[in-house]
Amino acid sequence: MAVVGLAASSLVLAGCSSERGEGGSDGSSSEGGSGTSSETGEAAGPTTFTFASSSDPASLDPAFASDGESFRVARQMFEGLVGVEPGTADPAPLLAESWDVSDDGLEYTFQLKEGVSFHDGTPFNGDAVCFNFDRWDGFTGIAASESMSYYWGKVNGGYEGAGKYASCEAPDDATAVITLSSPLPELVAALSLPAFSMQSPTALAEYGADEVGGSEDAPTLPEYATDHPTGTGPFTFESWSPGENVTLAANTEYWGEQGQITTVIFPVISDATARRQALEAGDIDGYDLVGPADVVALEDAGYTIENRDPFNVLYLGMNQAVPELADIRVRQAIAHAIDKDALVAATLPEGTLVATNFVPPSVRGHSDDVPTYDFDQDEARSLLAEAGVSDLTLNFTYPTNVSRPYMPTPEQVFERIAADLEEVGITVEATPLPWSPDYLDRIQGGADHGLHLLGWTGDYNDTYNFIGVFFGAQSNEWGFDDPALFESLSTARVATDEAEQTSLYEEANVQIMENLPGIPIAHPVPSLAFRPGVENYPASPVQDEVYNVITLTD
């Protein structure tokens, strides 16, 4: 999210390229999806890579998805104008080789990669780019709901001309010009999201991609989103058996280096322990969201652990709709009561950073000047007494039966925080709830919660994608109304000068921690595990992990 400044005056970005088009790190590649022996250089047979998913994808059309498992599959089949620089959260050229941004931040001219076709043979060109942008902005009805096209609504701010997108023109096959009605400096970074992947206009039209049925609460996907996803990526769709697996095959006409993998299978294994057991049994090649307790045991047994750089935040939310929590002294007392260093050491993976901001240090706008609330339980007791609530009782809601990248063991985190609070005289009323749908419904749906655990993994490298999501407007999660903070974030979001925007976001982070709506706890390191022989896995802080670069040595 450090790219917000890309929308500053007349920038050209070229020369760097996404790793997904470059094959494995050893430079080996092959046409037609055949593998290559790393020792002899001789052609190898078909190679399958099996990676366990924690759930089904919600949709095979990434424009109608917002979840990690949908995006994991989508990244293999689809590509956007903008990719991600390998190993970072920063944008890089992909289907657009470069771009220019006008001085006023309203016109983006993308120079497109030539000679690229979609899986169905439809040419990728300027007209295809405009078709996709106009499609997103033209969503209506259920297709325009938050449960479907979440990211276009959030990033663009509306549909059918009501948001920032104004128009797209294609002066020629190799150029697309996007015009905005008002500045959106995060646009380039946002375009790295799978939700904004380029899709075949032919397939979208032929298979009724926008014909969403059902209701907003229970939408039904069109045929395109279940059976005919069509992109430009290194793998093509083979089959989806809901609840069982998704299977992809090598795109033999891929414009880049196909690499060794000829088949990708995503079996659905919802339980973290079952995923570990499947790896140990040799049924899968790898899996995500490894529990901290499993990391050392798997490494000792010879499995490979890959850690993503922390690009997330785990926090304790404090709902100010609860009268006691509306008192800043009570919120400060809770912050002083928690031993974050001990919590991180006991419950989170090695390498986890203790948080002081709601954005990780790698994001531009992170401030070293925010107020901090050191572990001091005597100060916590003093503040509670000053507030007149020395016998305070608070509801504490936490999720069960779930592992998140920012919170692999929620129950353990809850137990540590609850013990710290009890130590300073705060009585905790525990409310454990299953993650889906009860937990998020309670936290985001009303005032019947006090403290809660939640977090966020950044979608792309932009400060607003963290603190704007949390504090950009009133929400049931936090229960406060702070027009000054909302205005600060709105102003920072549209600042087109990078230095000015950085300063505004730093000031906003100070403002947030002075008001203390919640307590940022940590930036955990998510871990993946693989069997021996899986090499060159492209671990990415934003999970931009495309499997054509993987090498299997046995």
CATH number at residue 71: 3.40.190.10
Asked if the model's pLDDT at residue 491 lies above 90, the reply is yes
Where do runs of H (alpha helix) occur along 193-233? 201-206, 223-227
Same domain, yes or no, for 271 and 395? Answer: no
Domain end marker among 180, 201, 222: 201
pLDDT at 44: 55
Q: What CATH number did the domain enclosing 409 receive?
A: 3.10.105.10
Q: Which range has the worst mean pLDDT, 16-25, 337-346, 515-524, 534-543?
A: 16-25
326 beta partners? none
**Quick one: what percent of the chain has pLDDT higher than 70?**
91
Band of pLDDT at residue 10, cut at 50, 70 and 90: very low
- Is pLDDT above 90 for 13? no
At 99, give phi and psi (nearest 5°). -155, 150
With pLDDT > 90 as the criterion, what percentage of the chain qualifies?
83
For residues 537 and 272, give the distance between their C-alpha atoms in angstroms, rounded to a whole number: 20
Contact 153, 66 (CB under 8 A): no
* The pLDDT value given to residue 14: 33
Task: Tell me, yes or no, whether 405 lies in a domain.
Answer: yes
Decide which of 201, 223, 251 is a domain's last residue: 201
71 shares its domain with 83? no
> At 98, which helix (H) or strand (E)?
strand 96-101
Phi, psi of 301 (to 5 degrees): -85, 0
- 183 with 91, same domain: the answer is yes
Q: Report residue 258 as tokens.
A: 């196909």
339 and 476 fall within a common domain: yes
Beta strands in 272-337 (DSSP E): 286-287, 304-307, 312-318
Helix, strand or coil, per DSSP, at residue 288: coil
Which of residues 201, 217, 249 is at a domain's end? 201
DSSP state of 36: B
Q: Is the per-residue pLDDT at 534 higher than 90?
A: yes
Nearest to 122 by CA among 173, 60, 70: 173
Cα 434 → chain centroid:
22
d(CA 424, CA 333): 9
**Domain contains 359:** yes
283 shares a domain with 147: no
Give the domain CATH number at 147.
Answer: 3.90.76.10
CA distance 396 to 388: 20
Task: Tell me if 10 is assigned to some domain.
Answer: no
Phi first, then psi: what are they for 241, rounded to 5°? Answer: -110, 95
Domain check: are 358 and 391 in the same one? Answer: yes
pTM: 0.85
pLDDT tens-digit series, residues 212-252: 999 988 899 999 999 999 999 999 999 999 999 999 999 99
Same domain, 367 and 493: yes
Looking at the domain assignment, is residue 12 inside a domain? no
- The answer to whether residue 6 scores a pLDDT higher than 50 is no
Does residue 143 lie within any of the structural domains? Answer: yes
Which token pair is 155?
């990033």
Cα distance between residue 27 and residue 48, in whole Å: 19
**Eight-state DSSP code of residue 222:** -
User: Which tokens hold the place of 156?
Assistant: 């663009």
Helix, strand, or coil (residue 50): strand
DSSP 127-140: HHHHHHHHHHHT--
Look at the chain and count its residues: 554
Same domain, yes or no: 239 and 123:
no
Mean pLDDT taken over the chain: 91
Tell which residue, 49, 45, 69, has the closest CA to residue 59: 69
| 162 Cβ contact partners less than 8 Å away, ≥ 6 residues apart | none
Q: Are residues 395 and 335 in the same domain?
A: yes
User: Residue 447: its pLDDT value, please?
Assistant: 64
DSSP 376-437: -HHHHHHHHHHTT-TT-EEEEEEEES--BTTBS-HHHHHHHHHHHHHHTTPEEEEEEEEIII
Q: 48-69: per-residue pLDDT in tens?
A: 999 999 889 999 999 999 988 9
In a domain, 423, yes or no: yes
Residue 85 forms part of a structural domain: yes
Once rounded to an integer, what is the mean pLDDT over residues 170-198? Answer: 97
Are 403 and 518 found together in one domain? Answer: yes
On whether residue 212 sits in a domain, the answer given is no
* Whole-angstrom distance, CA of residue 411 vs CA of residue 248: 36
Rounded mean pLDDT, 458-481? 94
CA-closest candidate to residue 452, choices 464, 441, 463, 468: 441
Q: How confident is the model at residue 34 (pLDDT cuts 50, 70, 90)?
A: very low
SS3 448: coil
pLDDT tens track for 97-130: 999 999 999 999 999 999 999 999 999 999 999 9
- CA pair distance 482, 505, nearest whole angstrom: 16
Domain coverage including residue 545: 46-77+234-308+526-553
Give the long-range contacts of residues 69-74, CB within 8 A, separation 24 or more. Answer: 70/194, 71/193, 71/194, 71/195, 71/543, 72/266, 72/288, 72/543, 72/545, 73/246, 73/248, 73/266, 74/194, 74/197, 74/229, 74/231
Q: Is the peptide bond before 361 cis (omega within 30 degrees of 0)?
A: no
Q: Are residues 415 and 515 in the same domain?
A: yes
What is the number of domains present in the chain? 3
The pLDDT of residue 45: 66
Q: Are residues 493 and 387 in the same domain?
A: yes
pLDDT, residue 19, reads 34
CA–CA separation, 103 vs 100, rounded Å? 10
- Fill in the DSSP letter of residue 466: I
Of 388, 414, 373, the C-alpha closest to 330 is 388
Q: What is the DSSP letter of 319?
A: -
Q: From CA 269, how far away is CA 267, in angstroms rounded?
A: 6
